[in-house]
A and B are shown apart, each in its own frame.
Chain A
């Protein structure tokens, strides 16, 4: 055992109190989407926890091998939501990724993206604005119902993906920053569209703004918003995560508001749960500021239904819509009735349930980039459930799920449209 691994083991000891709670019952095998494909114990929460324990107690020396297993995870939280002992699996895995990554270092490509690009929103945004103008050179349209594209030529990053193209104009270009006072709605909110809505689904952001305006909610949407930080954190890059949190904190602290809304399940969960969870290394004041901000974070669907209140028509009929529960909304935040209510608010839509609506779509952010075939196998099960439901539209509340589901449906040539529940609600206004 080298002195280095001893150092790593010492760092992992901070997780000991959480690791020991796992009673190794193995029930996580029943719900883990990755395990259901690979059937390998090292890919399920119990196995990963055992490996971390053994690494912490210096019984295992191959830190890299453990890191590979740690990365073989969608961070969907299905295991934690079903754990009889209530082990906070996601907290453990995110902290462990940071620790193991600090020890082993970040791969060069990720370092370039996170430290050079993501943490500098101005550079990142202008680069993608330019990219959106040239993307047609390499790609062509694949499905006009879904609006997806695939590679025109053999492009290694795209592979066989049917991806959603960058929007011609991002939300930032379409909508000016806002800072309006509340009207009859009484509330004032800050709006954080998130990267994917800004760059790929700006019309979702516009739907949110339309709904807020309709209800006369005051909106603070500042320029210069940075990524919520999850791509960096899930890769174990705590430094970039901290930078992103601070950037956003400073922008949003400039004004007063009741809620900080996002239309992205992953951004909501990150800002509400992970910002405070991962702030242990910050100064006391900063911790308190992060805590105060994260308490204001709310998913836009929850705000619409629980805070504003929406009008419900008699049972809808017409287009059949099925709803996919994003893991970070249902399993992390416990929000599942509100987005369904938004679908039902549209009298021209009829909500029908697919099998296992809360089964992970398999996206998992960078998991999709690193383990595409596995991500696709998991996504295909979701696709099969959607198609079997007979719905013409699949609605969800997370742009990352929308990307993955679009890819799966488009590759199969399924005529099913993919929409955010806020688009469906905004149509009624």
Chain B
């Protein structure tokens, strides 16, 4: 399909080094972080400037080649796995410049391949704050974050990626330049295409520049850890904190199974009989205010039945309190060869019902599941520990995932809080939405990408 002439054209456009067609190179771009089968692309292309990116898209379109844009490849739903027939991977890591950080108008303009943590650090150097902090932020790219509408630990108070996207300029499938949004706080010019691009998983256009909102950072913070013998009490604590008009910047949760795995791994002396641990952090623009909130939170925890509440006195103690949460995924991931990390999300009041359902499902299918996550926004990470080489067990894993999603939807929740739909969850989409929703999405897709070349098969199938 890719003729020698086309290969040459890509090479003269991008430079020989940026066109990878060797078997080994192509295999290295056949997967992402989702537990799915790899698909080997036919060609991997690495544009290093905006014009090259536009030309690359146009050439793929002219030649009918389906393209999957890839940042760091940390996707947990298969969104960066290329298409089966003649799939092309377009890398963004050659487009990794921060073009502008504007301290007066509180925005930044970036290329899609900028690494999230590096960007956040650059912003922090200028005394500003970019809050979205997905678990993969050390390597994930801002382009990927926008395409997946990535979340993170700070979602409850600071929102997620979509809340920071002011504009997206992108190449459409024909390689023409589309501008949307802008650098002003208010902007109602035209359709709100920028937000349509958020979470579109590469199916509607290829990002060239992203304009992101920045905010002033909090100046003070305080962290607390509370233990419970009953998951309902932890949940009531969460509800009571919110009802008291306190919005913690993080409100993390570990269930009993996760606590035991972490303790096994770290021997840090965690309470293995505790039903749940809450890790709560409050922050704000004034120390006295933060201290006040923290004292109130401790009181609320105790009133709602916490067995024990620890408050960190300084940065070192805060670091120590966070240790259990930091080690949640490492501890779970080490327990068995394969780690299936899900992100079913429910309204926060439904967290206890969801945890109970997950534990019942684990028992029913004889699986090990540890659940941790963001209790404040109901975004749970049921983590199934398995071995994908064990076919019988993995079949039970797939059934368990089906049931977890069923329960989440019954509890008025959603399939995915922050990992995206990709190919992993596309089949359940209609269950949460409706047939018309899928059709509407497909009509939209068909209108802007009639040949289905922009990351086909993702989100809405087809």
Contacts and interface: CB of A to CB of B under 8 A. Distances in A.
Contact of B33 (A24, A30, A86): A24
Chain A CB within 10 Å, residue with most, of B20, B24, B32: B24
Interface string B320-357: 00000000011001100111010000000000000000
Contacts of A24: 31-33
Chain A CB within 10 Å, residue with most, of B27, B139, B387, B388: B27
A143 interface: no
A50 B27 contact: yes
Contacts of B388: 20
A59 B27 contact: yes
B330 A41 contact: no
Interface residues of B, number: 36
A68 B117 CA distance: 31
A85 B333 contact: yes
A349 B388 CA distance: 55
A88 to B, nearest CB: 11
A330 to B, nearest CB: 19
A62 B138 contact: no
Interface in B19-53: 20, 22-25, 27-33, 35, 38, 40
Contacts of A231: none
A21 B220 CA distance: 39
A85 B385 CA distance: 12
Given A20-B337, A29-B72, A61 B23 contact: yes
Contacts of B218: none
A232 B389 CA distance: 34
Given A23-B338, A60-B23, A69-B24, A41 B138 contact: no
Nearest to B22: A65
B83 interface: no
A61 B117 CA distance: 37
A316 interface: no
Interface string B366-389: 000000000000000000000111
A40 interface: yes
B22 A23 contact: no
Contacts of A21: 334, 337
Nearest to B335: A85
B28 A42 contact: yes
A50 B31 contact: yes
A69 B27 CA distance: 12
A336 to B, nearest CB: 18
A85 B337 CA distance: 9
Contact of A42 (B25, B31, B72, B138): B25
Contacts of A41: 28-29, 73
Chain B CB within 10 Å, residue with most, of A23, A30, A66, A85: A23
A20 B387 contact: yes
B27 A25 contact: no
B137 to A, nearest CB: 9
Contact of A30 (B27, B28, B138, B341): B138
B28 A23 contact: no
B24 A68 contact: yes
A26 to B, nearest CB: 5
Given A66-B24, A84-B329, A85-B339, A50 B139 contact: no
Contacts of A40: 20, 25, 28
B23 A62 contact: yes
Interface in A131-153: none
Contacts of B337: 17, 20-21
Question: Contact size class for A?
Answer: 20 to 34
A85 B330 contact: yes
B48 to A, nearest CB: 10
Contacts of A69: 24, 28
Nearest to A31: B138
B68 to A, nearest CB: 14
Nearest to A65: B24
Given A26-B139, A84-B329, A65 B23 contact: yes
B94 interface: yes
A25 B74 contact: yes
A350 to B, nearest CB: 25
Given A17-B337, A20-B337, A85-B334, A29 B27 contact: no
Contacts of B333: 23, 84-86
B24 A25 contact: no
A60 B27 contact: yes
A62 B338 contact: no
B136 interface: yes
A373 B32 CA distance: 30
A26 B73 contact: yes
Interface string B107-147: 00000000001000000000000000000101100000000
A54 B139 contact: no
A322 B139 CA distance: 29
Interface in A39-88: 39-42, 47, 50-51, 54, 59-62, 65-66, 68-69, 84-86
Interface string B67-104: 00000111000000000000000010110000000000
A129 to B, nearest CB: 43
Nearest to B140: A26
A62 B22 CA distance: 9
A27 interface: yes
A85 B329 CA distance: 8
A50 B38 contact: yes
B74 A51 contact: no
A61 B338 CA distance: 26
Contacts of B91: 39
B399 to A, nearest CB: 21
Nearest to B118: A30
Nearest to B328: A84
Contact of B93 (A20, A39, A59, A65): A39
B330 A84 contact: yes
A20 B339 CA distance: 10
Contacts of A26: 32-33, 72-74, 136, 139
A141 to B, nearest CB: 37
A29 B28 contact: no
A54 B136 contact: no
Contacts of A30: 117, 138-139
Given A26-B136, A26-B139, A86 B28 contact: no
Contacts of B389: 16, 20
A84 B38 CA distance: 22
Interface string A210-223: 00000000000000
Interface string B221-258: 00000000000000000000000000000000000000
Given A41-B73, A69-B24, 10 more contacts: A24-B31, A24-B33, A27-B139, A40-B28, A50-B31, A54-B30, A61-B23, A65-B22, A84-B333, A86-B333
13 contacts: A20-B388, A20-B389, A26-B136, A27-B139, A42-B28, A50-B27, A54-B30, A62-B22, A62-B24, A69-B24, A84-B333, A85-B330, A85-B334
Interface of A: 16-17, 20-21, 23-27, 29-30, 39-42, 47, 50-51, 54, 59-62, 65-66, 68-69, 84-86
Closest A-B pairs by Cβ, 3 of them: A65-B24, A42-B28, A30-B138
Interface of B: 20, 22-25, 27-33, 35, 38, 40, 72-74, 91, 93-94, 117, 136, 138-139, 329-330, 333-334, 337-339, 341, 387-389
